[in-house]
Structure 1
Amino acid sequence: MSPARSRGQAGAGPVLRRPVAPMLAAPVDEVPEGPDLVHEPKWDGWRAIAFRDADGVYLQSRAGRNLTTYFPDITRAVRAAIAPGAVLDGELIVLQGGRTNFAQLQRRVTAGRDLLRLARECPAHYVLFDLLANPGGQVILNRELSQRRYRLEQLLAGAPAQLTLTPQTADSRQVADWLTHWTVATGIEGVVSKQSTSRYEPGRRGWRKYRTRITTEAIIGGVTGSIRDPDTLLLGRFDRRGTLRYTGRTHPLNPTQRAELAAMLSPVRALPRHGATVHPWPQPLPPSWSGQLDRPEPLPYVQVDPTTVVEIDADVAFEHQRWRHRVRYIRTRPDMSIYDVPLLLGEEEGYFGGLG
């Protein structure tokens, strides 16, 4: 997608025509430092560009899809507070108990007739961080970020709480506080760093994003590929009842990691007399377990004896007792029993309490 522009009404300047590819952020291993850098929280939601047209509001996803019908509460707020012609960029989130809830966001797509009730009970918020066009349609992509931010602040003055300006800072101490406290309290995933003097470049990874990550342990319950040549690991943890629950999947392993793990994995043991095997997870894994929104499919895999503990590196996007993004395998932990791995806690107890 490219930022297509067309002429407005007679005498008007060019206007943005949807779809517009949003400007993106490249991942980094640490928060960057330098002159003219500003930082914003990385919200755990859906990226959305809002077009305030003369006759309503159109919400476009990062991939260019139409999200408008799923967020009547947001389109109503934008239509009431923002003058026609403006184009906004931000993140759609749902808060519960002051913390982002990605699962409630996903429910908007499958709610069907319950959509309006869901919007009333779990209203969405649109956290805004950029302005692509002023009211009236004037395109400001070439303006510096600091200037676009100032205009966005003015535009949101007096807007309802559902339209929120994201915090921004150049203070590294404030960033450290976000990463230390906000990650747990509000569910942000990290920070996005931007040059205050930069223009908005649709489709380009001109920003940088740092995800908060943790190191922890999990139990191998299955693999894709084969036991002798595993491609990815399927991981689990015990709940309080002693059931091994599926919690996520690793990124593909490198050849050294494959060889290391092949020597430690064993097939599921057969029951005495019956010859059948028992494993706590279905085969294949159900599509809903993947946590993916776009065309999820059942995942065939090889069940293994859940006796191997591994150390992993994961981000903080953890919901329904699963890591939503793939985790990174670090090493095996032969020194640990499977009963030394932190237990899965109930949703009400929180994720970080189970990291040990």
Structure 2
Amino acid sequence: MPPEGHGYEPKWDGFRAIVFRDGDEVEIGSRNERPMTRYFPEMVEAVKKQLPPRCVVDGEIVVINGDRLDFEALQQRIHPAESRVKLLSVETPAHFVAFDLLALDDEDLTGRPFSERRAALERALASAKSPVHLTSMSTDPALAGAWFDQFEGAGLDGVVAKPLDGTYRPGARAMLKIKHERTADCVLAGYRVHKDGAHLVGSLLLGLYDESGELLNVGAASAFTMTRRAELVAELAPLVTELEGHPWAPEKQEAGTRTPRNAEGSRWSGKKNYDFVPLRPERVVEVKYDHLEGQRFRHTAQFKRWRPDREPGSCTYEQLETPVKYDLGDVLSG
């Protein structure tokens, strides 16, 4: 953990959102400035009831399933059909976890130290109740370390450390994100071509065998130099095969197997092409990942090394570390 002088908060796994309220007018914007108001009508009503009449609040929109966060359910909330949006607002209602107060009434607070903004946020949300929450915060590194270990079992993905004297600087790396990092040996079963052309590998597609022996797409590994991307095309050429008979062939999609075509992408991705170059599943790669969401790595994994000493059939889900369960309610009430 960083030295003294920091405030520690749980790192929530949802959609970053900035809420603007001016009386009955509410707007919800994403981190990349995409409007999200229409997707969360229940959140608009909650904001009107529980946030100050005129304010700007930074936070995270999450969906809770049982005692854990459910990012997959949250992704499904981004739907073009209004009827579907209304239905999901009832079936999988969202929650808003506030962690910074940027403006209150006519006062811009972004130039104030985080410690002052946090105190103002606590006062502003003193009577807030679900589905609006005030995130936990502590200046105790030991407690933050306990949160790091425990809260993952509730679906959170680490701890954030913020300088207590720091001002709000959007886009700047003023905070330190302390995330979980693990390794896994995966089967290489294909790759996507780079946006600049088929002479470059975009990302390696990774698989793990489930209990029934199906090779499921668990995610992708990327972040290669352009030189290495070109080298990989030649290096993997001997493994290129036809899609017919491949573990991720079209018939596998129809049978419900998790393949790259139906596992990658979201409504945020527009018309992005998710076709891939199939490879014979004969090579094993070790990657670094942060945590698992369902049957997939939550974020893109990082290539670490080839594992010629491992047999592809030995790459199963059993090798992955399972966090000890932790009640999300205890996190929210912390």
TM-score normalised per structure 1: 0.78
Of 202-211 and 59-68, more deviation after overlay is shown by 202-211
SS of 1:202's partner is coil
Compute the displacement of 1:44 (Å).
Answer: 0.5
Using the alignment, how far apart are the partners of 2:103 and 2:233 within structure 1? Answer: 53
Structure 1 residue 277: Cα displacement: 4.6
285 and 343 in structure 1: CA distance in 2 versus 1, 3 angstrom threshold:
closer
Q: 2:110 aligned to 141, 151, 157, which one? A: 141
Residue 262 of structure 1 deviates from its aligned partner by 5.8
Match of 1:27 in 2: none
* Superposition map of 1:175-214 within 5 A: 175-183=144-152, 185-214=153-182
2:283 — aligned with what? Answer: 308
1:115 match: 85
1:262, 1:78 → 2: CA distance? 54
Contact 2:286 2:304 in 1 (8 A): yes
* 2:311 aligned residue: 337
Aligned-residue offset at 1:64? 1.5
1:132 Cα shift?
A: 0.8
Per-residue Cα deviation, 1:284-329 (whole angstroms, up to 9, x for no partner): 953652357232522333211101111110111x334222421111
Post-superposition offset of 1:130: 0.5
Q: Is the 8 A contact 1:84 1:137 kept in 2?
A: no
> Does 1:54 pair with 2:23?
yes
Q: Does the CA contact (< 8 Å) of 2:109 and 2:117 recur in 1? A: yes
Question: Mapping of 1:1-356 within 5 angstroms?
Answer: 31=1, 33-110=2-79, 112-134=82-104, 136-183=105-152, 185-225=153-193, 230-254=201-225, 255=227, 266-267=238-239, 277-282=244-249, 285-286=260-261, 289-291=264-266, 293-316=268-291, 318-343=292-317, 352-353=321-322
Return 5+ residue gaps in structure 2 as ranges.
251-258, 324-334
Q: Report the counterpart of residue 22 of structure 1 in structure 2.
A: none
Cα distance per residue 1:228-280 (max 9 Å; x no partner): 9755311111122222111111114345697589657743567xxxxx95112
CA distance in 1, matches of 2:244, 2:262: 23
Is the 2:179–2:290 Cα contact (8 Å) retained in structure 1?
A: yes
DSSP-derived class of the 2:268 partner:
coil
Q: Is the Cα–Cα contact under 8 Å of residues 287 and 297 in structure 1 kept in the other structure? A: no
Contact 2:205–2:260 at 8 Å: present in 1 too?
Answer: no
> How far apart, in 2, do the equivalents of 1:166 and 1:124 lie?
15
Give the secondary structure class of the aligned counterpart of 1:309.
Answer: strand
For residues 295 and 144 of structure 1, the distance between their equivalents in structure 2, rounded to whole angstroms, comes to 39
Structure 1: stretches of 5+ with no match in the other structure: 1-30, 271-275, 346-350
User: Using the alignment, how far apart are the partners of 1:114 and 1:277 within structure 2?
Assistant: 36
- Once the two structures are overlaid, the 10-residue window that deviates more, 261-270 or 158-167, is 261-270
Q: Which residue of 2 aligns with 1:10?
A: none
1:62 CA drift (Å): 1.0
Q: Number of aligned residue pairs: give it.
A: 310
Cα shift readout 1:126-155 (whole Å, capped 9, x = no counterpart): 111100111x23211121111111111111
Change (3 A) 1:315 1:302: same
Residue pair 2:221, 2:303 contacting (<8 A) in 1 also = yes
TM-score by length of 2: 0.83
Change (3 A) 1:324 1:285: same
The alignment-based identity, stated in percent, is: 32
3-state secondary structure, aligned to 1:128: strand
Contact in 1 for aligned 2:261/2:275 (Cα 8 Å): no
Local SS of the residue matching 2:58: strand
Separation in 1, partners of 2:235, 2:312: 18
State the Cα RMSD in Å.
2.9
- Measured in 1, the distance between the counterparts of 2:223 and 2:127 equals 48
Structure showing the higher helix proportion among its residues: 2
Q: Secondary structure at the match of 1:161?
A: coil
